Amino acid sequence: MAEFTPVNLVTGFLGSGKTTLLQRLLADPALGDTAVLINEFGEVGLDHHLLERIDETMVLLPSGCVCCTIRGELSEAIRDLHSRRERGEIPVFRRIVVESTGLADPFPILSTVQNDPVLTHHFRLGNVITTVDAVNGAGQLGRHPESVKQVAIADRLVLTKTDIADPVSVETLLRDVQRLNPSAPLWQTADRSLDVDLLLAHDHFALGDKAERPLRWFAEEVAAGRRSTATGRNRHGDSIRSFSLAFEGQLDWTMFGVWLTMLLHCHGEAVLRVKGILNVANSETPVAIHGVQRLVHPPIHMTAWPDDDRRSRLVFIVDGLERGSIERSLETFLGVIASPLPADAILAP
Amino acid sequence: MCALCGILGPANHWTDAAARPGVFTRNLDSLQRRRERLQRVACAQRVLSHYRLTLSDWQGTAYLLSTPTGKTEIVDNLTHLWAAAEKLLGRRCDPLDPAVINHLGPARG
């Protein structure tokens, strides 16, 4: 998917260090060819000044919160960057990073990039990076449902301000964040250097490449989701929990698609994330799926199994849904197709 | 959009993903694509029979969803299917509903 420009989203609650993180990332030579879109809420935008980089590949979306008022503007801004890049008016960029307002629900932004009829042919979604403020994070998670959602849908989590926060509260927040989203790798800005490659480049689409590192990481992320099952509910957003399911044998891809679309249609608001490795009938290597609410990324045909485990594994982060009913439903749907049709079976139209 | 009948082209759905490097799809050639559509109709029909709805392929470009009395909706993909089914039925189609699960029978294994 090299010809598709990845679009990353940096989100996180107000004052959680999104701009500081972005500033740090953009200083890395690996991200020298990145275009940046900044969405600011309020009459006078400041974040773009803090980045200390004003050039033609930096776009400010000043007219409101990107999630509810200016989705059209986001789409227009990315289209405009694309047109200018193709005409050679601006330097060639190989990645776009969108920094959302702290109040934004990330889902509409992701949906815009994936479903816009023009953007879908040139851009693809990359990792969502969520910053969590170690000083105020616990309070924000307790009071603002947006911040819980921002954590739950993240592909990568960065705990900021850990150097000025009380170590005990950092530990508590760390546990809470990992319960909300156990499969997302987590960094603390204070105590270790950020690996830009892992943060941005190792995304869902990298699983279709030949490189082994993303495969290993993906397997670790799914395994982390599985290990979390015993930790139970989270005190922030009591109804949000994560669990994992594993299935022996090969599953029927078509029936799985019927089931997942039906589930997401009916309960899309409550399925914050679904991610997994599927052992699909008539396929030698696994298929990686990755969904955020009603948005499902194109399924990736992985080049190899990341480990010896040949079971299909799915990790869910849900709000209010019961693990038992999801498991029973999926098993029943898949059980209907007891013997999948062979690849060369021809059905007369 | 079809120039003759004016029907909008289907949106790019993940179960119908375009053949691109790295992406898992059963859209590699027209025969495979056609076979997958028919299998999809068969799978969805097992579930829809609970609601007494009938699904069929329409020219390889859309699906027709009908009630026993003949009320029909044209749908583009699986996501539209469930919205159209709910519109025809006047109630939700929930895969977690025990009645749906009982209709489909015992779980595998």
- The ipTM of this complex is 0.91
pLDDT score for B47: 96
Domain that holds residue A254: 214-336
With a cut of 90, say whether residue A336 has pLDDT above it: no
> What CA–CA distance (Å, rounded) separates A190 from A158?
10
Nearest CA among A344, A259, A275, A346 for reference residue B108: A259
- A51 and B CB contact within 8 Å: no
Residue range A288-332, pLDDT digits in tens: 999 988 889 889 998 888 888 899 999 898 988 999 999 999 999
For B109, the closest chain A residue by CA position comes to: A335
Do the Cβ atoms of A35 and A59 come closer than 8 Å?
A: yes
Same domain, A188 and A224: no
Query: A210: Cβ–Cβ under 8 A, 6 or more apart, which residues?
Result: A303
For B95, the closest chain A residue by CA position comes to: A263
For B85, the closest chain A residue by CA position comes to: A262
Q: Which of residues 112-131 of A touch B (CB under 8 A)?
A: 115, 120
Do the Cβ atoms of A122 and A93 come closer than 8 Å?
A: no
How many domains, in total, are found in chain A? 2
Same domain, A197 and A315: no
pLDDT score for A309: 87
In the predicted model, what is the mean pLDDT of chain B? 86
pLDDT score for B67: 96
Residue range B23-43, pLDDT digits in tens: 888 888 889 899 999 999 999
Nearest CA among A272, A222, A219 for reference residue A245: A222
Range A109-138 average pLDDT: 87
Burial zone of A164 (CB within 10 Å; 0-12 exposed, 13-18 middle, 19+ buried) = exposed
How many C-beta neighbours within 10 Å does residue A86 have? Answer: 11
CATH value at residue A279: 3.30.1220.10
CATH value at residue A80: 3.40.50.300
The nearest CA of chain B is from the CA of A23 a distance in Å of 32
Do the Cβ atoms of A100 and A10 come closer than 8 Å?
A: yes
Instruction: For residue A205, list chain B residues with Cβ-Cβ distance below 8 A.
Output: 22
Asked which of A179, A201, A223 is the last residue of a domain, the reply is A201
Same domain, A42 and A150: yes
Cross-chain Cβ contact A261/B40 below 8 Å: no
The nearest CA of chain A is from the CA of B89 a distance in Å of 14
Angle between helices A106-115 and A145-152 (to 10 degrees): 50
Same domain, A77 and A100: yes
Which of A210, A215, A262 best tests the B interface by mutation, with the highest count of B CBs <10 A?
A: A262
Nearest CA among A193, A165, A177, A174 for reference residue A21: A193
For residue A243, the SS3 value is: strand
Do the Cβ atoms of A123 and A97 come closer than 8 Å?
A: no
Q: Quote the Cα angle for A16-A98-B9, to 5°.
A: 135
Nearest CA among A131, A149, A221, A209 for reference residue A185: A221
Same domain, A82 and A185: yes
Tell me which residue has tokens 């709000």: A319
